[in-house]
Structure 1
Amino acid sequence: MLIETDKRLALQAYEQILNLILTGAAQPGAMVTERRLAETLNMSRTPIRDALLMLEGEGLLIRQGSRGLQVKQMRIEDYMDALQVRQMLEPEAARLAAGHMPAASLDELEADLKSLIGNPGNGEGKPDRGSVRDVDDRLHGGIGDAAGNPQLAQIIRTLRRQTQIFDLRSMPERFEATCHEHLDIVQALREGRGDDAAQAMRRHLEHVRDSIIGRLTRA
């Protein structure tokens, strides 16, 4: 029972620290310490330490010798490399997951995506990043889990963590297109059309890549 409690607390700490990183509250290049995080999150240092090790393993934190851990400063080259690997893996994961994701989960995803398109969330026509990230996690993560290969699911999850730093902060113009692309993926998954699910995922990731390249070209 104690081990299960420790694991649950570590996962809670992981999610909270991850949220600090993805929302920008913990800025790229910032040093993070167990003591400060324990005070911020009102938790003991043991689950914080376990959570930091998990985030280091995912590449979101980089160890800087005796100075401790630093939030990774994601270079565009790092992003493009991770996205390239995602383009190799996620279409096949979608193919394997087609027809195997729970209908209730797909129904919820479809309803949430349509709601986001109709009501972005902050009254100014701008996307609510928290809601978008939640739907994105549930779709891509659910595909990885439904593919039936835990190692593949973990690799995809790690790569996605690294690319999420360049999410809607970098590509707000992709919001509505992303929702529609996700709806195409959901429909193919629901109907068990593996080849179409793979193609929809491939097309989605290609559009993400093209948007980043276009933004760099215009800069």
Structure 2
Amino acid sequence: MLIETDKRLALQAYEQILNLVLSGQAKPGMMITERRLAETLNMSRTPIRDALLMLEGEGLLIRQGRSGLQVKQMRIEDYMDALQIRQLLEPEAARLAAGHMPPEILGALEADLKDLLHSATAPDGKPDRGSVRDVDDRLHDGIGEAAGNPQLAQIIRTLRRQTQIFDLRSIPERFEVTCQEHLDIVTALRDGRADDAADAMRQHLAHVRDSIIKRLAR
């Protein structure tokens, strides 16, 4: 029971620290220490230490000798390299996952995506970034898990963490298009159309890449 409690606390710490990084509160180049985080998150240092090790393993934090860990300054070259690998792996993961994701999970994703689209078209609509990232995580991570290869799922999760630093803040014009692309992926997965699921994922990631390139060229 104690081991399970420790694991749960470490995962809670992981999610909270990850949110600090992805939300920009912990900025690229910022030094992170166990003591400061323990005070900020009101947690003991043991789960904080375990969470930092996980984030270091995913490449979001870089160890700087005895000084502690530093939030990685993601170069655009790093981003494009990670995205290129995602383009190789995630379409195949979607192909393997087609017909194997639980209908209730896909149904919830479809409903949430439609809600996000509706919120964006409302007069005072402004999609909540936390909700956007939650849906994105549930879809892409769910595909990785449903593909039936735990190592593939972990590799994809790690790559996504690295590319999430460049999220929809960088390309806000992609919001509605991204939601529609995700809906296309969900539909193909639900119908068990493996080739269509792979094609939809491939097109989605290619459009993300093209949008980033277009933004950089401005």
**TM-score (normalizing by structure 1):** 0.97
Q: 2-side partners of 1:9 and 1:130: how far apart?
A: 21
Any residues of structure 2 matched to 1:59-208 within 5 Å, and which?
Answer: 59-120=59-120, 124-208=124-208
Unpaired segments ≥5 residues, structure 1:
none
SS at match of 2:176: helix
Q: Deviations over 1:191-218 (max 9, x none)?
A: 0000000000000000000000000111
User: Equivalent residue for 2:211?
Assistant: 211
CA offset at residue 131 of structure 1? 0.7
SS at match of 1:181: helix
CA offset at residue 121 of structure 1? 9.3
CA contact (8 A) 1:32 1:68 kept: yes
Q: Using the TM superposition, name which of 89-98 and 127-136 deviates more.
A: 127-136
CA offset at residue 128 of structure 1? 1.6
Q: 1-side partners of 2:56 and 2:81: how far apart?
A: 18
Q: 1-side partners of 2:76 and 2:113: how far apart?
A: 28
CA contact (8 A) 2:35 2:45 kept: yes
CA offset at residue 120 of structure 1? 3.0
SS at match of 2:101: coil
Q: CA RMSD in A?
A: 1.2
Q: 2-side partners of 1:123 and 1:156: how far apart?
A: 36
CA contact (8 A) 1:90 1:201 kept: yes
Unpaired segments ≥5 residues, structure 2:
none
CA offset at residue 126 of structure 1? 3.3
| Segments of 4+ moved more than 2 angstroms | 120-127
User: Equivalent residue for 1:2?
Assistant: 2
- What is the aligned residue count? 218
CA contact (8 A) 1:99 1:191 kept: yes
CA contact (8 A) 2:119 2:126 kept: no
Q: Deviations over 1:62-91 (max 9, x none)?
A: 001111100001010000000000000000
Identity, in percent, stands at 83
CA contact (8 A) 1:122 1:128 kept: no
Q: Relative to 1, partners in 2 of residues 1:28 and 1:146: Cα closer, same or farther, differing over 3 Å? A: same
User: Equivalent residue for 1:50?
Assistant: 50
Any residues of structure 2 matched to 1:11-26 within 5 Å, and which?
Answer: 11-26=11-26
Q: Using the TM superposition, name which of 111-120 and 52-61 deviates more.
A: 111-120
CA offset at residue 125 of structure 1? 3.8
**TM-score (normalizing by structure 2):** 0.98
CA contact (8 A) 1:121 1:127 kept: no
